[in-house]
């Protein structure tokens, strides 16, 4: 069975993608700040030098957007390099606008806060060291902000306080929004880990059952062979007893049926090991499944719905698909019996690039709240309780899914499989 993979894990890639969005916000905010200070407040700042720095950040933003769109993974050192580039550009802009006296110097802390949520301790320490070095340089070397008439009243203190207020709002919004995105990615990862753990426990249980079944099949072969030898002799010895002869004939048929099941188990195991799918037309495959199901459950009233244009479709039926379908039909009959019915419906249809096997029953439905029911909560009182779990495991192995819903007349189980996986040259 293919290993499960976590979706959108928290780490360098998630942080690099967050930095890409944050970089766009920084470009817009810095451009607006330069225009306000230069054109509206008439502060004599080096506008061309500042715009040059913003342009460099914009070029790097284009490169970063291209990089995260590539298929190869983003390494931690790469993310650190992105943060270093952002820190250098920010330091460059602060150098021309008052250095460490600029209230926006605390923006150097934002990459540290974001990195702490996604990177290793060593990487966070490296980012913190770079930010500290940039701050130390800005303490000693910077271009002072020139004074205008508004700033000369209180030596720029009011402007500094206003800048601190704007910086506080900007920092709060940035940290709140982007750290929330990273925290959401952490929660998604935790939920995925929980699902993987549950699936692993389920698969371990299925593997244990399969191991026990293999051992039981091996042990049952001997007593079945003995009974198969003795029953014909008993029939010959008691040929005059019609009632006993009829019972012995029935037993002989049941023994032969058990032997057939054992042979199918062995054949299924060999097919599973070889991973060679069986190529057969959809019509033939469904006919074989229905025939087998009617032998297992002769009391069932099966209604088959198959679109005529699907019958010539050639399937690459992998090992386990037939058993998954039989499990769903068997569960449907058991559920219908709870409401004094034997009706089940099997519908096969194509939905774009999916082939859907839909099984409907006339039972009480699933007990889970809502329209979508949980796997295994069908309300059945009999059975081993693993039929739906086996079908779900088969669906996941074939890159599909098992969807269970309640209907007005019972329950519906939809086994959705991609045509690219199970069909021969789907069109």
Q: How confident is the model over 251-270, as a mean pLDDT? A: 74
The tally of CA atoms less than 13 A away on the side-chain side of residue 426 is: 17
Please check the confidence at residue 360 and state whether its pLDDT lies above 70: yes
What's the pLDDT score for residue 66? Answer: 92
Stated as kind and residue range, the H or E segment containing 344 is strand 343-351
- The pLDDT tens digits for 100-149 are 888 888 888 888 887 887 788 899 999 999 999 998 999 889 888 766 54
The highest-confidence range among 154-158, 182-186, 204-208, 401-405, by mean pLDDT, is 401-405
Residue 88, burial from CB neighbour count under 10 angstroms (0-12, 13-18, 19+): middle
Distance CA 215, CA 415 (A): 30
Q: How confident is the model over 229-239, as a mean pLDDT? A: 81
**Of 231, 381, 357, nearest in space to 293 by CA:** 357
Q: How confident is the model over 178-200, as a mean pLDDT? A: 74
The highest-confidence range among 199-208, 366-375, 377-386, 404-413, by mean pLDDT, is 404-413
Record the tokens describing residue 368, joined without a space: 């889970």
Q: What is the pTM of this model?
A: 0.47
CA dihedral 182, 184, 185, 188 (to 10 degrees): 170
More confident call, 390 vs 97: 97
CA dihedral 362, 365, 371, 373 (to 10 degrees): -130
């Amino acid at each position: 069975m293919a290993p499960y993979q976590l979706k959108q894990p928290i780490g360098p890639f998630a942080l690099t993608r967050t930095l890409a969005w944050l970089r766009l916000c920084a470009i817009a905010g810095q451009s607006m700040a330069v225009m306000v200070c230069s054109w509206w407040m008439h502060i004599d700042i080096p506008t061309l030098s500042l715009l040059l720095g913003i342009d460099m950040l914009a070029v790097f933003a284009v490169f970063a957007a291209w990089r995260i769109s590539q298929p190869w993974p983003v390494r931690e050192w790469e993310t650190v390099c992105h943060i270093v580039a952002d820190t250098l550009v920010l330091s460059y802009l602060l150098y021309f606008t008052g250095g460490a006296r600029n209230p926006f110097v605390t923006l150097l802390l934002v990459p540290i806060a974001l990195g702490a949520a996604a990177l290793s301790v060593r990487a966070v320490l490296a980012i913190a060291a770079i930010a500290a070095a940039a701050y130390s340089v800005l303490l000693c070397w910077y271009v002072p902000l020139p004074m205008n008439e508004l700033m000369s009243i209180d030596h720029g203190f009011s402007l500094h306080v206003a800048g601190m207020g704007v910086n506080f709002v900007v920092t709060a919004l940035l940290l709140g929004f982007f750290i929330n995105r990273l925290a959401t990615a952490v929660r998604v990862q935790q939920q995925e880990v929980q699902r993987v753990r549950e699936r692993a426990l389920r698969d371990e249980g299925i593997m244990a059952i399969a191991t026990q079944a293999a051992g039981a099949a091996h042990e049952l072969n001997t007593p079945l062979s003995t009974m198969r030898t003795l029953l014909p002799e008993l029939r010959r010895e008691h040929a005059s007893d019609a009632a006993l002869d009829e019972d012995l004939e029935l037993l002989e048929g049941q023994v032969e049926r058990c032997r057939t099941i054992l042979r199918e188990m062995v054949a299924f195991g060999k097919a599973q090991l070889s991973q060679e799918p069986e190529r057969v037309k959809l019509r033939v495959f469904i006919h074989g499944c229905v025939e087998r199901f009617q032998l297992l459950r002769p009391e069932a009233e099966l209604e088959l719905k198959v679109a005529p244009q699907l019958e010539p479709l050639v399937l690459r039926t992998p090992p386990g698909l037939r058993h998954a379908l039989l499990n769903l039909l068997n569960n449907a009959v058991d559920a219908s019996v709870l409401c004094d019915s034997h009706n089940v419906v099997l519908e096969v249809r194509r939905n774009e690039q999916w082939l859907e096997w839909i099984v409907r029953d006339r039972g009480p439905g699933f007990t889970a709240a809502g329209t979508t029911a949980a796997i295994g909560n069908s309300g059945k009182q009999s059975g081993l309780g693993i039929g739906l779990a086996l079908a779900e495991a088969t669906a996941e192995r074939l890159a599909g899914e098992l969807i269970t819903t309640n209907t007005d007349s019972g329950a519906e189980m939809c086994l959705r499989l991609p045509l690219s996986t199970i069909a021969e040259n789907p069109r």
